[in-house]
Amino acid sequence: MEWCYNEEVAFLRSKILALLREAGDSYLSGEEMAKRLGVSRTAVWKHIQELRRDGYDIVSHSRSGYSLQSAPDTLRPEEIKNGLHTKRIGTEIRFYPTIDSTNLEAKRLAQQGAPDGLVVVAEEQGKGRGRLERSFFSPAGKGIWFSVILRPDFLPQDAPKCTLLSAVAVAKAAEDFGMKVGIKWPNDVLAGGKKLVGILTEMSAEMERIHYVIIGTGINVNIKAEEFPEELRDKAASFSEIKGEKIPRAAFFRAVLEHMDALYDAILREGFAEVFSEWRRYSITLGQTVRIIDARGGGQGAFVGKAVDIDEDGALLVDTAAGRRRVLAGDVSIRPQQD
């Protein structure tokens, strides 16, 4: 971890950008901005210079003031919060240009008392990881690498279901952007058989009480096929490949956070029924003949059956020749059965 974006700085910068966006094509003077924000003209000028260094195209006129022409493709808080409408998730955002792992940082912040819904996001991860300790390719400026801290009031045994929440939120965001994806149980978001998203849910809890849940999510947004490591090219893809054009990351991230927030709100009010219903809608596993492999047992205990549903715990129900079997998330890998 190199550097965390200061919340006070982020707040003032977001206000400056909001004023410039509100002005549209018109110019806004430094004096007027300083007056509205309750700071000095020098402070406004300094923040304008920093925004320019960060890629914002802000033109100035000696008598008229400043005008925002364009914004960079960045995941800084001022861009994420521009138009974000959520109750909990994303109301507070911690941004890092580069970090070892957003999950590790989220856990550190959670242990210090970070609130429900805080988001940790980075432009690049050095040690991103997914389920079963697999590493996750997280290059700079090409994806959305983030973790959300939740402090729900449900029981610890319900926490693994939050993994499905994140997968559904991303699938719904993709749909908003005109892209069709599917979810392979439990949480692999796929298109054309290739993985677009990695999700890792972790928890700190006592027997009857959750201290916090961390949902780490890595989304391949604008990674070109040739940019993936050779060993991933036949397994991974990005949303820009599906869309056939570059995806605006901040706008896509807002959609993900808004869907996560709405689903989380439904969970707190009514349980996981809505998440499960939406998961079934996107599922590419249900109705398929699958091969279940014990991922931690080297293939021992593998069996074949038809995936028919998920139960109230999010476990996969598989009908086999010997009867129905219940498969828990995190215990298996799923491969389509070959004819």
The domain segmentation of the chain, as residue ranges, is: 7-70, 77-282, 288-336
- What is the assigned CATH class of domain 77-282? alpha beta
131 marked among binding-site residues: yes
7-70: CATH architecture: Orthogonal Bundle (1.10)
Model pLDDT, residue 126? 75
In this prediction, residue 1 has a pLDDT band, given cuts at 50, 70 and 90, of: very low
Q: How far apart are CA 200 and CA 193, in angstroms?
A: 20
Query: What is the rounded average pLDDT of the residues 80-107?
Result: 93
Torsion of CA 229, 234, 235, 239, to 10 degrees: 80
Query: What is the rounded average pLDDT of the residues 219-238?
Result: 92
52 marked among binding-site residues: no
Query: What is the rounded average pLDDT of the residues 184-209?
Result: 92
Model pLDDT, residue 106? 97
pTM comes to 0.87
CA 62 to chain centre: 42
Q: How far apart are CA 73 and CA 79, in angstroms?
A: 9
Per-chain mean pLDDT for the chain: 89
Residues 6+ apart with CB under 8 A from 221: 142, 143, 144, 238, 239, 240, 247, 249, 252
Model pLDDT, residue 135? 53
Model pLDDT, residue 127? 57
Which listed CATH number (3.40.50.300, 2.30.30.100, 3.40.800.20, 3.40.50.150) goes with 288-336? 2.30.30.100
In this prediction, residue 329 has a pLDDT band, given cuts at 50, 70 and 90, of: low
In this structure, the number of other CB atoms found within 10 A of the CB of residue 154 comes to 16
Among positive and negative, which fits the CA dihedral 97, 99, 103, 106? negative
125 marked among binding-site residues: yes
Check whether 3 has a pLDDT greater than 50.
no
Query: What is the rounded average pLDDT of the residues 164-173?
Result: 97
Q: Where do the DSSP E strands lie in 74-209?
A: 93-96, 119-122, 143-150, 182-184, 188-191, 194-195, 197-205
Q: What is the gyration radius of the CA atoms in the chain, in angstroms?
A: 22
Please check whether residue 240 is in contact with residue 221, taking contact to mean a CB–CB distance below 8 angstroms: yes
Query: What is the rounded average pLDDT of the residues 129-158?
Result: 80
Model pLDDT, residue 133? 45
pLDDT (tens digit per residue) in 203-217 = 999 988 999 999 999
163 marked among binding-site residues: no
**Structure tokens that stand for 44 in this block:** 């406004």
65 marked among binding-site residues: no
In 3D space, the residue among 256, 259, 254 whose CA is nearest the CA of residue 76 turns out to be 254
In this prediction, residue 331 has a pLDDT band, given cuts at 50, 70 and 90, of: low
Model pLDDT, residue 136? 61
In this prediction, residue 14 has a pLDDT band, given cuts at 50, 70 and 90, of: confident
**Structure tokens that stand for 207 in this block:** 């027997």
Model pLDDT, residue 128? 46
Please check whether residue 229 is in contact with residue 272, taking contact to mean a CB–CB distance below 8 angstroms: no
Q: How far apart are CA 23 and CA 140, in angstroms?
A: 32
pLDDT (tens digit per residue) in 27-75 = 999 999 999 999 999 999 999 999 998 889 999 988 889 999 998 889 9
130 marked among binding-site residues: yes
DSSP secondary structure letters along 198-250: EEEEEEEE-SS-EEEEEEEEEEE-S--GGGS-GGGTTTB--HHHHHTS---HH
Among the ranges given (66-80, 177-191, 208-222, 286-300), the one the predictor scored with the smallest mean pLDDT:
286-300
Check whether 299 has a pLDDT greater than 60.
no
288 marked among binding-site residues: no
